[in-house]
Structure formats: structure tokens, C-alpha cells
Amino acid sequence: MTVLMDGKKLSEIIREELKIKIQKLSEAKRIKPVLATILVGDDPASATYVKMKGKACESIGMGSRKVELPSGTSTDSLLKVIDDLNKDETIYGILLQHPVPEQIDERKCFDRIVSEKDVDGVTSAGFGKLSLGIPCFPACTPAGMIRLLEEYQIELAGKHAVVVGRSSILGKPMAMMLLDKNCTVTVCHSRTKNLSEILHTADIVVGALGKPEYIKGEWLKEGVVVLDAGYNPGNVGDVHFESASKKASFITPVPGGVGPMTITMLLSHTVKAALEKNKV
């Protein structure tokens, strides 16, 4: 039997728990956690993501502050905005929406975010800490996938996990988190040879390559756990769901699997930042 890992349902449960924590914070300190989002330019997909994040904050009683900057913004002007948000005591988390226009040094801007407000896990220091097993806010999509694995009580120690994709927001941090959970981790990318043979040895597969329905069920072994982080036009993931679900013991659907967990982790990290800062 194949179990669907329901990220939508788990997200709803976590958001209810967050509402209670926000209420406590309000009662104890009269404080509301606020997430600042920075959107540079007019990319419609990015605008939609930022809007969704703002709405999600409001739906659980958090605040959100939206900073919108024109597409011609320079690195220095963006750094100044980040500096101001770093100093602002009412802001507990900062999210700089990726990608920024190409004239901007995105890495420099990410790294300007102070670690206690790096709720999206984008700074180099945050990635370093994650890799060393030092507490930090990990990138939200991998954090959501790990939370799903925990929820479904999937044994990880000693398992062979194959992560397909090595981006700094997804594949690499996911590999580090699985390593921390004592998996034996293989990271595949666009130059990997014999992907299907490698996948055939995997107990856990993470699809994070951005190619619709690329990973086929025929490449997977019986009983595999499949996490599909992909989100592509037509509402499909990076894994061919129909064939993969015939082999998998557990699988995330698209939509309703990893996607909702990403925003929920962002909310959760911001609430945690506010609780820690105010010692509640």
C-alpha cells in the first residue's frame, strides 16, 4: 500500500499550533511576530509567492510588512533596506524573494540579513551552521520535507537517500539535513551519469531538479520513499507521480505535499525567532 504524505493537512495542524504560540506571545509581551518580505522588480511569479506569504502570516495572526522595490534597484539600495529591517525591533524575520534582478549581487544581499532574522535560511553563515549541525533556521523547503519524514515516522538512519538537484536553497541543504539524520547521501545534478541506476539503489528519493515528471517509477526500487519538491506548470512535480506511486511506500503528492510545508516552515521559523528574542 502506498501512503500519501499529506503536507496540506500537516501544515494545517502546525498552523493551529502556531496560532496558540502567537496568542501566548501577545498575552505575555504584547508582541506580534512580523515577517518582512522584500520583492524587487515585477516578476509575476515572485509577486504571487510574496502575496501568498503575506496572506499566510495574516491567517495565523502574525504581521507582515511588504517592501516593494523597482526592478532597477542597485545592490547598495537593497543593502540599505536590509540594514533598516535588521535594526527594526518589530521585525522578526526577513525574506528576500529570489530571484532578484541580475544587476543585484544576490549573495551579498542574502548575507546581509542578520542570522536571528534569517528565517528563510539563505545566508552563507546559516548554511555553514546547518552543515556543521549547529542550530539555525534551515532553508524552508528542506525543513518542510524533514518535518514530513518525521511526521510519518520514516526511519532514516543508515538509509540511502538520493537528492536530485544541488541548489543552495533546496538540494544542498536537504542533503545536509539528511546527513545529519544519519542517512548515506548521494547528491545528483545535471552532469550525473546513470541517474536511473543510482536512483535504483535509493531508499529515499528527493526530486528537486525543476524538470516536470522527470523521475520515472521504473527507475525506483520497490518500497522507496519519494519526496517531490518540484513544482512545474500544469501542477506537476519533478517525479512522474503515477508510475512512482506504484513503487513507493510513501510519496508526496503535487500539489498538497511539499509546497504547503514550505510556507508553514517560514511561519514557524518567524514565530520561533520572536519567542526566542522575547524569551517566551
List the catalytic residues. 53, 97, 120
Q: Is 170 in the site for ligand NAP (CB under 6 A)?
A: yes
Instruction: Pinpoint the alpha helices (H) of 123-257.
Output: 124-132, 140-151, 171-180, 195-199, 241-247
* Beta carbon nearer to ligand NAP, 169 or 275: 169
Report CA-CA distances (Å) from 164 to 174, 209, 264.
Answer: 10, 6, 23
**Taking CB under 6 A as the criterion, which residues in 201-230 touch ligand NAP?**
208-211, 229-230
Q: Is 165 in the site for ligand NAP (CB under 6 A)?
A: yes
Q: Is 192 in the site for ligand NAP (CB under 6 A)?
A: yes
> Which of 164, 202, 204, 226 touches ligand NAP (CB under 6 A)?
164
Residue 221 CB contacts under 8 Å (≥ 6 apart), including other chains: 200, 201, 202, 203, 247
> Which of 92, 127, 219, 231 touches ligand NAP (CB under 6 A)?
231
Q: Is 8 in the site for ligand NAP (CB under 6 A)?
A: no
Q: Is 238 in the site for ligand NAP (CB under 6 A)?
A: yes
* Beta carbon nearer to ligand NAP, 41 or 210: 210
DSSP 226-240: EEE---BTTTB-SB-
Helix, strand, coil share (%) of the chain residues, nearest 5: 45, 15, 40
* Beta carbon nearer to ligand NAP, 38 or 139: 139
| CB burial readout 149-171, b (16+ within 10 A) else e | bebbebebeebbbbbbbbbebbb
Which residue's CB comes closest to ligand NAP? 167
Task: Name the site residues for ligand NAP (rule: CB under 6 A).
Answer: 141, 164-167, 169-171, 188-192, 195, 208-211, 229-232, 238, 258-259, 262
